[in-house]
Amino acid sequence: MTNQYDCIIVGTGPAGIFAAWELCQNSDLRILMIEKGRDIAERHCQMAATGKGCLHCQPCAIVSGWGGAGAFSDGKLTLTTDFGGWLGEYTGVTKLGELIDYIDQVYLQFGAPAEVHGLDKERVNQIKRRAAAAELLLIPAVVRHLGTDRAQGILARMRQALNDKGVEVRTLTAVRSLLVDDKRVVGVELANGEHLAARYVVCVPGREGSEWFAKEAQRLGLRARSNPVDIGVRVEVPAAVLSHLTDVVYESKLIYYSPTFDDLVRTFCMNPQGQVVMENNAGLLTVNGHSYAAKKTDNTNFALLVSKSFTEPFREPISYGKYIASLANMLGGTVLVQRLGDLLDGRRSTPERIARGLVRPTLPEATPGDLSLVLPYRFLKSLLEMLEAFDRIAPGVYSRHTLLYGVEAKFYSSRIELSPQLETAITGLFAGGDGAGVTRGLAQASASGVLMARTILERC
């Protein structure tokens, strides 16, 4: 190994992988990828293996490691420019569409399935009309579903391909700081004090590294603006309740403005016949959802999130979101689950009440409890109003048996000022993906990696 590289990539999620892939395919640059988590072959969740609940492994195999949090996600490639982040603000919609088409072909090359959902425009328009009558906006999306099980195999093949191309990878290695000299990046300092030099640094630490990156950007004097913080619950219902939607569009992306507070509420990460899972974000337990290609359950789950933007003088949206999520951990020792009927009746759920419900929880480790003790009234009111509206196009969503898991929170870093090529005000320092607050999804994160790599290639 050497301490001198042409390009260092901090993070091995989709943005980092596609940056490395684009660079090694088109040059002989010396590339190093640094990852604080484990390699793809060593990523095993002990909670899933033992069934004893979260063991608080550090780093968490679910959210850290080769492939990023996406390695264990449901693996949806959203092949549209309408949502999944803000990359189009930098590239323009046309170029973003071209980048998404390109990364989609790469995923196909490494084993993504040929099937695509959401192409039946007539049936999609029928759902849009019904949604509009319920004051919901359906954003149609073409989705290629990899599946949690298939996604890991695709990422493992990408890992091997990069290795064959000579890309060096250091796992279980944390970056302490970015090294800058005279407004130009010169490398990184590792947690063990080692200095690594590079002409270019691509910083793509993922959501798990967003707080670290925000602090580094502040230390380096980079201007930033706060992204909204998304806080809510994961909803679980019988799969039959939503099959008339998921069979057509798979990912029902619905937008709603609550009548009481005019807050934006949205569905996110819908998993037909999937399962609810737990994530450990630096000791903070939150909830998420997976959907497998081969293994199916009787339930469908989705996130229901209230997007809240904060104004001056408040500058800590990530800390706020983590504080809300920590209340659930404090009350239950883990994430909470509550029947909707119990929440509406003003009582906590108990194991006996959950057992009497018609929806069998796919996350049995969740503690029955009371989400009204966790979520602020404004968030809770907006979420309930959205569920009522959703019930008008999918009767059964607002059932008293519907399960709500909390807290689900999406932490997106403050967006620093970037050029159209995602370069910071520090020459040679690029930032992309979810951890830089530029994207929030697999497709746009991958596309951001390609965009940064092509700029570096042009300069070399």
What letter does residue 427 receive in the DSSP assignment?
B
Q: CB of 404 within 8 A of CB of 281?
A: no
CA pair distance 292, 145, nearest whole angstrom: 9
* CATH number, domain containing residue 437: 3.50.50.60
Tokens of 410: 């999406």
Q: What is the pLDDT of residue 140?
A: 86
Q: What is the pLDDT of residue 74?
A: 75
CA pair distance 187, 4, nearest whole angstrom: 9
* Residue 236 shares a structural domain with residue 271: yes
pLDDT greater at residue 55 or residue 128:
128
Q: What type of residue is 385?
A: E
The pLDDT tens digits of the residues spanning 332-362 come to: 999 999 999 999 999 999 999 999 999 999 9
Confirm whether 430 is domain-assigned. yes
Q: CB of 141 within 8 A of CB of 249?
A: yes
- How many structural domains are present in the chain? 2
Taking 90 as the threshold, does the pLDDT of residue 71 lie above it? Answer: no
Tokens of 206: 């993922």
Q: CB of 274 within 8 A of CB of 292?
A: yes
Taking 80 as the threshold, does the pLDDT of residue 310 lie above it? Answer: no
The pLDDT tens digits of the residues spanning 425-449 come to: 999 999 999 989 899 889 999 999 9
Q: CB of 437 within 8 A of CB of 222?
A: no
* Residue 218 shares a structural domain with residue 351: no
CA pair distance 201, 429, nearest whole angstrom: 5
Q: Which are the contacts of 219, defined by CB distance < 8 A and separation ≥ 6?
A: 177
Least-confidence region, from 46-50, 159-163, 315-319: 46-50
Mean per-residue pLDDT for 131-154? 92
Confirm whether 127 is domain-assigned. no
Q: What is the pLDDT of residue 328?
A: 93
The pLDDT tens digits of the residues spanning 256-289 come to: 999 999 999 999 999 999 999 998 877 789 999 9
Least-confidence region, from 162-171, 210-219, 409-418: 409-418
* Residue 191 shares a structural domain with residue 78: yes
State the residue for tokens 């403050």: 414
Q: Where do runs of H (alpha helix) occur along 255-316?
A: none
Longest dimension (CA), the chain: 66
Confirm whether 131 is domain-assigned. no
- The b-or-e profile of 444-455 (16+ CB within 10 A means b, else e) is bbbbbbbbbbeb
Q: What type of residue is 173?
A: T
* Residue 240 shares a structural domain with residue 315: yes
The pLDDT tens digits of the residues spanning 15-45 come to: 999 999 999 999 999 999 999 999 998 988 7
Confirm whether 398 is domain-assigned. yes
Confirm whether 72 is domain-assigned. yes
Confirm whether 453 is domain-assigned. yes
Helix (H) or strand (E) holding 182, with range, is none
Q: CB of 216 within 8 A of CB of 11?
A: no
Domain with 308 in it = 229-410
Average pLDDT across the chain, whole number: 92
* Residue 278 shares a structural domain with residue 169: no
How far, in Å, are 51, 64, 185, 244 from residue 189 at the CA level?
38, 20, 12, 52
The pLDDT tens digits of the residues spanning 369-419 come to: 999 999 999 999 999 999 999 999 999 999 999 999 999 988 766 788 999
Q: What is the pLDDT of residue 295?
A: 86
* Residue 349 shares a structural domain with residue 446: no
Q: What is the pLDDT of residue 2?
A: 64
* Residue 248 shares a structural domain with residue 310: yes
The pLDDT tens digits of the residues spanning 81-101 come to: 988 889 999 999 999 999 999
Helix (H/G/I), strand (E/B), else coil: 299: strand
CA pair distance 52, 49, nearest whole angstrom: 8
Confirm whether 130 is domain-assigned. no
Helix (H/G/I), strand (E/B), else coil: 371: helix
DSSP 3-state helix, strand, coil percentages of the chain (rounded to 5)? 35, 25, 40
DSSP string over 317-365 = HHHHHHHHHHHHHHHHSS-EEEEHHHHHTT----HHHHHHSSS--S-TT
CA pair distance 270, 251, nearest whole angstrom: 5
Q: CB of 324 within 8 A of CB of 109?
A: no
Give the percent of the chain with pLDDT over 90: 75
CA pair distance 238, 298, nearest whole angstrom: 6
Q: What is the pLDDT of residue 28?
A: 96
Tokens of 323: 């504080």
* Residue 101 shares a structural domain with residue 181: yes
- Find, among 323, 307, 326, the residue nearest to 258 by Cα: 307
- The b-or-e profile of 415-430 (16+ CB within 10 A means b, else e) is bbebeebbbbebebbb
Q: What is the pLDDT of residue 298?
A: 97
* Residue 79 shares a structural domain with residue 110: yes
Give the Cα-Cα-Cα angle 111, 107, 433 (nearest 5 degrees). 140
Q: What is the pLDDT of residue 281?
A: 78
* Residue 374 shares a structural domain with residue 430: no
Mean per-residue pLDDT for 450-455? 98
Backbone angles phi, psi at 255, to 5 degrees: -115, 140
* Residue 102 shares a structural domain with residue 66: yes
Backbone angles phi, psi at 37, to 5 degrees: -90, -165
* Residue 194 shares a structural domain with residue 317: no
Q: Could you tell me how far CA 5 lies from the centroid of its own chain?
A: 30
Q: Which of 390, 410, 430 is the last residue of a domain?
A: 410
Q: What type of residue is 4?
A: Q
Confirm whether 126 is domain-assigned. no
